[in-house]
């Protein structure tokens, strides 16, 4: 084996990982979540808004609009559909009676159906995860968290009309690995 085999092989693995993540994996995720949303009679945007609310907790509709980049009118329509599906409830804000707070409903019929949808998926993913040792799991967790953070930042950059050119030079690690 000559010295170029190592770097060449690493570059090939990095390209393959990029293709798997950027194409196959991301498309599979979108299609899976679309199918889950359809089971609830929703579109994928509604479904992901419900997921954001469940993860972030109660908030004002304007905050959801800001997080998703949707107009307030589109957000209101999404909230109407989520309320009809039993995934949220609205309450008047006790500190400002003119405002509404949107609360995720995590114990309703729709959430139980989602639990059933994700049970099989979760079991199959758990079987895959079982193949990795603790150090590999730390690495995977770090990788997924860091890539998710980049996606969130890049989404904001795109929405704000920022520069989409890649940074000059090789990408540099800006943060130490996270402890899990």
* Tokens at 158, concatenated: 């795109």
Q: Look at residue 1 in the predicted model and tell me its pLDDT.
A: 46
pLDDT confidence of residue 156: 85
Model pTM score: 0.72
Mean pLDDT of 53-60: 93
Mean pLDDT, range 140-163, rounded to an integer = 89
Residue 123 has pLDDT above 50, yes or no: yes
Share of the chain above pLDDT 90, in %: 61
Cα–Cα nearest to 146, from 114, 167, 125, 176: 176
Higher pLDDT, 1 or 7: 7
Across the range 48-63, mean pLDDT stands at 93
Q: Is the pLDDT of residue 23 over 80?
A: yes
pLDDT at residue 3 above 80?
A: no
Helices 109-129 and 26-39 pack at an angle, to 10 degrees, of: 150
Contact 44, 81 (CB under 8 A): no
Query: What does pLDDT average to over the chain?
Result: 87
The 10s digit of each residue's pLDDT in 79-89 is: 999 999 999 99
180 pLDDT band (50/70/90 cuts)? very low
Q: What is the mean pLDDT of residues 59-83?
A: 95
Please give the pLDDT value at position 160.
84
Confidence class for position 165, pLDDT limits 50, 70, 90: confident
pLDDT at 179 over 60: no
Handedness of CA 159, 59, 79, 114 (dihedral sign): positive
Question: What integer is the mean pLDDT of 12-23?
Answer: 89
């Amino acid at each position: 084996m000559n010295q170029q085999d190592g770097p060449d092989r690493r570059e090939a693995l990095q390209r393959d990982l990029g293709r798997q993540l950027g194409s196959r994996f991301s498309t599979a995720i979108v299609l899976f979540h679309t199918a889950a949303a359809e089971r609830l009679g929703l579109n994928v945007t509604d479904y992901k808004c419900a997921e954001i609310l469940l993860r972030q907790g109660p908030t004002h509709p304007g905050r959801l609009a800001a997080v998703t980049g949707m107009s307030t009118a589109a957000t209101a329509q999404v909230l109407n559909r989520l309320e009809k599906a039993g995934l949220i409830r609205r309450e008047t804000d006790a500190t400002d009676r003119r405002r509404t707070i949107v609360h995720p409903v995590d114990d309703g019929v729709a959430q139980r159906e989602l639990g059933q949808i994700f049970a099989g998926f979760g079991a199959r993913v758990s079987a895959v995860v079982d193949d990795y040792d603790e150090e590999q799991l730390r690495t995977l967790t770090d990788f997924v968290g860091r890539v998710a953070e980049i996606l969130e930042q890049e989404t904001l950059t795109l929405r704000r009309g920022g520069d989409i050119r890649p940074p000059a030079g090789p990408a540099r690690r800006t943060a130490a690995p996270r402890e899990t």
